[in-house]
Amino acid sequence: MTAPDAPAAAPGEAARFELLAGEAPVGPRLGRIHTARGVVDTPAFMPVATRGMLRGPWPDRMRPMGVRMMLANAFHLWARPGPDVVRDLGGLHAFLGWDGPVLTDSGGFQAFSLREAARAAEEGFLLPHPVRGHRVTWTPELAFRAQAELGPEFAMVLDDCPPDPDDRDRVAAAVARTLRWARRQRDLHEARGGGASGQALCAIVQGGLHADLRAACAEALVEMEFDGYAVGGVSVGEDFAGRMAGVALSTRHLPTDRFRYLMGVGTPRDLVEAVARGVDLFDCVYPTRSGRFGTALTRGGTLHLLNARFTRDPRPIEPGCSCDACATGVPRGAIRAGLKAKELLPMGLLAHHNLHFLTDLMRRIREAVAADAFAALRAEVAAAWPAAGEGSPGEADAGDS
């Protein structure tokens, strides 16, 4: 099923990015990603359905919430149930229960997360199979073929994400390998017909915290002409200042007529500050994972509902919030009791609320940029969500959240 707001993509074009505001290389932007399955207004946040399943929220609540694009992981879907099974079940969109555009990650971050057991070599990553445990070699070619068969609108190249962004030698090797792998996948994409295949291919900038390596990686990828560019290798252990430095060192070298995507970053402060540095698209498990562990995101900061002070709190998760979870009226105290009893509903309610909160934050960001009021919103978010070293990010005061 095609989304009702979908414009036809141009012939031979899988997707197109339209810049609406923000011509400077670094700074807040407004844009629009056009696909055959719908338009994505940017800046935007993509919910993460790693294995093709959202953890908590129901798929049919995504579009009313304001979500326009979702993410799944090609490596995990390749491992189970396999692209052939996904195809036989109606394809990736049917598997997700989602009719809008989808982006699939390629598995580079999974190799990073398994770094104690994974090894990078020229042919690819040697790492444990996430289901069966035996060693597999996950190559750029295999990542490309898996995504071609899965059929998302946007496929990411396989990259090498180094574990320590300060280790210059390791980062330099990762940049060189990322570029060689990107060329191999770019050639496969062209042989398949490029955009005429119905799939856009996006590259990932590496370079750690080294300005020259970030610049070299970005510029080399731009020369290869991808449909979009991601900033990778951030949120891998560095502090807030390091994350934002990695973003700014990358976006300033990326073209303004392609979308910029910051991978795996999702706190409200990080989102707003990355938008300030020219990022258009985000994904992260943070909102749903936080919800499953009892944390609610609110305009005043976080609420840790497992805390004893919420035992008899009769209010919904966030008074005044329009999300489906808050509309149920289930009290904070009941959510806390359910979490203590390992019930599934409280985790789902919080995951839904948190995802709604971030999706709504992106709407507020777009409106603020359009109204030349981004600085005020940026200050508001900074006050509620201070970074480490700026004071402890407050649990929102129970009296005003």
Strand bridging mode 135-138 / 259-262: unpaired
Paired tokens of 49: 């359905």
Do residues 321 and 356 lie in contact, with contact meaning Cβ atoms separated by under 8 Å?
A: yes
Radius of gyration of the chain (CA): 21
What distance in Å separates the CA atoms of residue 149 and residue 186, rounded to the nearest whole number? 16
Q: Ramachandran region of residue 329, left (φ > 0), alpha (ψ -120 to 50) or beta? A: left
Gap between the Cα atoms of 137 and 34, Å rounded = 35
- DSSP secondary structure letters along 173-226: HHHHHHHHHHHHHHHHHHHTTGGGGT-EEEEEE--TT-HHHHHHHHHHHHHH--
Residue 73: CB partners within 8 Å, gap ≥ 6? 50, 51, 104, 105, 107, 110
What are the C-alpha distances in Å from 17 to residues 69, 105, 171, 349? 14, 19, 30, 34
Start-to-end C-alpha separation, the chain: 39
Of the candidates 47, 2, 52, 43, the residue with the CA atom closest to the CA atom of residue 20: 43
Question: Would you please indicate which residues are annotated as catalytic (active-site) residues?
Answer: 105, 283
Structure tokens at 11: 């012939």
For the four alpha carbons of 391, 393, 398 and 400, in that order, the dihedral sign comes to: positive
Is the peptide bond preceding residue 81 cis, with omega within 30 degrees of 0? yes
Element at 67 (helix H, strand E): none
Whether residue 152 is preceded by a cis peptide bond, meaning omega within 30 degrees of 0, is: no
Report the residue count for the chain: 401
Inter-axis angle of helices 344-370 and 374-384, to 10 degrees? 150
Amino acid, single-letter form, for residue 275: V
- What the block records as the tokens of 215 is 């610049």
